[in-house]
Amino acid sequence: MKFNKVLKNLSTYEAGKPIELVVREYGIDPKEVVKLASNENPYGTSPKVVAKIESLAKNMYLYPDDSMFELKEALANKFDLESKNVIIGSGSDQILEFCIHAKCKKKSNVLMAKTTFAMYEIYSKQVGANVIKTESSQHNLKELSKLYKKHGADVIFLCIPNNPLGECLDKDEVYEFLKTIDKNTLVVVDGAYQEYASFKDEKKRICPKDLISKFPNAIYLGTFSKAYALGGMRVGYGLAQPEIISTFYKIRAPFNITTLSLAAAIEALKDEDFVKECIAKNFIEMKRYEEYASKKGFEYIPSYTNFITILFKDFVSKTVAQKLLERGMIVRDLTGYGLNAIRVTIGTNDQNTKLFKLLDEVLEGLK
Amino acid sequence: MKFNKVLKNLSTYEAGKPIELVVREYGIDPKEVVKLASNENPYGTSPKVVAKIESLAKNMYLYPDDSMFELKEALANKFDLESKNVIIGSGSDQILEFCIHAKCKKKSNVLMAKTTFAMYEIYSKQVGANVIKTESSQHNLKELSKLYKKHGADVIFLCIPNNPLGECLDKDEVYEFLKTIDKNTLVVVDGAYQEYASFKDEKKRICPKDLISKFPNAIYLGTFSKAYALGGMRVGYGLAQPEIISTFYKIRAPFNITTLSLAAAIEALKDEDFVKECIAKNFIEMKRYEEYASKKGFEYIPSYTNFITILFKDFVSKTVAQKLLERGMIVRDLTGYGLNAIRVTIGTNDQNTKLFKLLDEVLEGLK
């Protein structure tokens, strides 16, 4: 059967390996497997949200309120915006897809950093758009400006802070960059890890209301998958001017999140204390990683997220990740991103202790 | 901001009104609202599935196993196929989207019955495809053949049985039709309500394995939203030859269903007794609708699903649906589909009794 030509050379996203796979392939007791590969919140979902979902599980047969009235109201309230500024996606991933489908077609230009969230490129290529990347791995606004002047772009992706590297642009430099961008170019500010970055350093904080008021061609993306500890529930959101939101609604399929996801997200917004605690613990634990890397003489990228990227010189990251996997420790190898590095989610105190121990063991064996 | 031109004249899907909306707009106690508008399984989710999800709610922070190993194995087992024949979607809706995105682009032709599932047309128009419909509302294979000979098609949608009308093609006539279709045309057999149709009449039963073996250009779609009582969890599946499935995987976004949806679907497949009981009760209750309609002199379409379409002559369906809504009874008005009719989901015994009572009241007031 013939399919659209554009699909021929598409690659698919390589997800962090699930615990179930390690159990199946290496026969390890699921309780012994530690997953530090997908930047899930290691402290688990807020007990209040868990209790809510337990009480609502019987409603699984009912479609969700597709207007998402209550969740949109709660988000609008949180960000001092209106419901008409909000669209909900099945993860903020799905909003990325809306951005591409609304703005791009064959031969559109999409601009991004060399090493950034893989779905930007995957969605772009699905519609046959050209993906233009900077030479530098990390976000470099000078390079992005130069490429923009040369090629123009229908969409620019900025991942603030950046996944999978962890670096983070300052708000002020983002604004300076945005001033130079044509109002017809959609600039996507992916704030999936903003809760972490703005906790660590106020200069990194992007206020969605301020952003989209000053730059009506920008959209801010947020997610419940990271700090809000609902990675498995697939809820993200886009905040933008109504012109953009209403267009995206034309692309959104009905019932794009589940009944329980909707309820979980609404409940999670009521327990901000839990989120703050998790973030505070994250940065206490991250210090241990920085100390570990320094002690071992490994370079790492200072991170504004809930993960850290450790670069190797004398070891092959792919081998290191594989050896860890065989011991029930899942981390992300970044070879596919062109880096000899691993990305490790900052886990709980115990999980991190285990990671250091196993990594010591693996590296010793590879010497 | 300029968006893709194709989005300009797009319409969006009008979902059945949620209970929350009726509560908000008409101030009715949620316990008093009855929703017979979205063909949910009125008997609720299987208690075994509910118990499973209650026990797993704490896992919401974890991404699902994106390989969906266990669910694909279970479905392959159920249908005597292999995992490579299976793809999972966020509802079978999402598989419809894959069909269009894999096969269609601007000016592609997509063929369907005049009155059928609205998403076929919506997804087609999102990529700028031409939608070609039969003159008859219900599926008419002679008309479809004629249109196919005249225009050709990249995709043909067959809804068996048909939503929102309820009629159902025989397997044999579908096969005769498929013999005349070019192997490069993707034929989508949407079996969202097949569990109901094949229970009522063995002649309507489509065996996915037989279908895709005889016609490798066909894809069978199934869902957990109807008989399996998981409408709110957004899980559907496509069964086809690996050539089609592997192409669709290029389009599928990672983590397209939630952690709890995955677990719920796996568990639901283990409780087929529950499904059978619900379906048996559905057709006992449907007889009451047929009797009610006959008594009142209303025409209805004999239905192979869990809903029934009642046509009006002396009343305006839109008004009837609105008056019912104001009394806390949600049904679907089919004016938007070009019919002066309402579609009512077959509810529980009590819900149906209430519907008859309220409908009597509304019709009396409209005389």
Q: H/E element holding B88?
A: strand B86-89
Measured between beta carbons, the chain A residues lying within 8 angstroms of B250 are 7, 10, 12, 126
Q: Which domain holds residue A10?
A: 5-45+273-366
Alpha helix stretches (DSSP H) within chain A: 19-26, 47-56, 69-78, 92-103, 118-126, 141-151, 171-179, 194-200, 208-214, 242-251, 259-268, 272-296, 317-326, 349-366
Contact B61 A184 (CB under 8 A): no
- Same domain? For A187 and A199 the reply is yes
Contact B60 A264 (CB under 8 A): yes
The yes-or-no verdict on residue B68 having pLDDT over 80 is: yes
The yes-or-no verdict on residue B12 having pLDDT over 80 is: no
Q: Is A65 on the interface with B (CB under 8 A)?
A: yes
- Same domain? For B281 and B189 the reply is no
Tokens of A169: 């642009």
Q: H/E element holding B298?
A: none
Q: Of A2, A3, A11, which to mutate for an interface test with B (greatest number of B Cβ within 10 Å)?
A: A3
- Same domain? For A35 and A75 the reply is no
- Same domain? For B64 and B188 the reply is yes
Contact A119 B24 (CB under 8 A): no
- Same domain? For A14 and A58 the reply is no
**How far is residue A92's CA from residue A119's CA, in Å, rounded to a whole number?**
11
Which of the listed residues A216, A247, A271 is the one where a domain comes to its end? Answer: A271
pLDDT given at position B16:
73
Closest-approach residue (CA) in chain B for A94:
B253
Q: What is the pLDDT of residues B248-288, one digit of tens each?
A: 999 999 999 999 999 999 999 999 999 999 999 999 999 99
Which of the listed residues B234, B249, B271 is the one where a domain comes to its end? Answer: B271
* Residue A355 or residue B15, greater confidence: A355
**How far is residue B14's CA from residue A363's CA, in Å, rounded to a whole number?**
58
**Angle value at C-alpha B9, between B3 and B10, nearest 5 degrees:** 90
Tokens of A166: 């962890």
Q: Which amino acid is at B343?
A: R
Instruction: Read off the pLDDT of each residue in B188-198 and give the average, rounded to a whole number.
Output: 98
- Same domain? For B214 and B323 the reply is no
pLDDT given at position B11:
77
Q: How buried is B99 (Cβ within 10 angstroms: 0-12 exposed, 13-18 middle, 19+ buried)?
A: buried
Count of structural domains within chain A: 2
Q: What is the pLDDT of residues B201-227, one digit of tens each?
A: 999 999 999 999 999 999 999 999 999
Portion of chain B with pLDDT greater than 70, in percent: 100
Neighbours of B27 (CB within 10 A): 7
Smallest CA–CA separation between A367 and chain B, in Å? 34
- Same domain? For B129 and B183 the reply is yes
pLDDT given at position B238:
98
- Same domain? For B291 and B301 the reply is yes
Q: Per-residue pLDDT for chain A (367 aa), expressed as one digit of tens each?
A: 999 998 887 877 777 778 888 888 899 999 999 999 999 999 999 999 999 999 999 999 999 999 999 999 999 999 999 999 999 999 999 999 999 999 999 999 999 999 999 999 999 999 999 999 999 999 999 999 999 999 999 999 999 999 999 999 999 999 999 999 999 999 999 999 999 999 999 999 999 999 999 999 999 999 999 999 999 999 999 999 999 999 999 999 999 999 999 999 999 999 999 999 999 999 999 999 999 999 999 999 999 999 999 999 999 999 999 999 999 999 999 999 999 999 999 999 999 999 999 999 999 999 8
- Same domain? For A229 and A313 the reply is no
Q: Of B62, B88, B99, which to mutate for an interface test with A (greatest number of A Cβ within 10 Å)?
A: B62
Contact B20 A251 (CB under 8 A): no
pLDDT given at position A89:
98
Q: Which residues contact B132 (CB under 8 A, 6 or more apart)?
A: B109, B110, B111, B112, B147, B151, B153
CATH code where residue B306 lies: 3.90.1150.10
CATH code where residue B199 lies: 3.40.640.10
Spatial CA neighbour of A181 closest among A150, A156, A158, A207: A156
Q: What is the pLDDT of residues A208-238, one digit of tens each?
A: 999 999 999 999 999 999 999 999 999 999 9
- Maximum Cα–Cα distance for chain A, whole Å? 58
Q: At what angle do helices B349-366 and B317-326 cross, to 10 degrees?
A: 120
Contact A60 B229 (CB under 8 A): yes
- Out of A62, A94, A244, the one facing B253 most closely (by C-beta) is A94
Instruction: Read off the pLDDT of each residue in B351-355 and give the average, rounded to a whole number.
Output: 98
Measured between beta carbons, the chain B residues lying within 8 angstroms of A15 are 63, 66, 254-255
Which of the listed residues A240, A271, A302 is the one where a domain comes to its end? Answer: A271
Measured between beta carbons, the chain A residues lying within 8 angstroms of B24 are 69
Which region holds residue A128: left if phi is over 0, alpha if psi is between -120 and 50, else beta?
left
Q: Is B246 on the interface with A (CB under 8 A)?
A: no
The yes-or-no verdict on residue B293 having pLDDT over 80 is: yes
Q: Complex ipTM, two decimals?
A: 0.96
pLDDT given at position A367:
85
Residue B307 pairs in a beta bridge with B345
Spatial CA neighbour of A90 closest among A208, A251, A330: A251
pLDDT given at position A24:
87
Q: What is the mean pLDDT of chain B?
A: 96
Neighbours of A109 (CB within 10 A): 20
- Same domain? For B204 and B88 the reply is yes
Strand ranges across the sheet with A332-333: A299-301, A307-311, A341-345, A332-333
Contact B232 A54 (CB under 8 A): no
pLDDT given at position B19:
86
Q: Is A263 on the interface with B (CB under 8 A)?
A: no
Measured between beta carbons, the chain A residues lying within 8 angstroms of B17 are none
Residues 95-154 of B with CB under 8 A from A: 97, 101-105, 119, 126
- Same domain? For B16 and B58 the reply is no
Closest-approach residue (CA) in chain B for A232:
B63
- Same domain? For A159 and A235 the reply is yes
Q: Which residues contact B354 (CB under 8 A, 6 or more apart)?
A: B34, B329
Contact A54 B49 (CB under 8 A): no
Cα distances (Å, whole numbers) of residue A239 to A221, A227, A297, B214:
6, 18, 42, 48
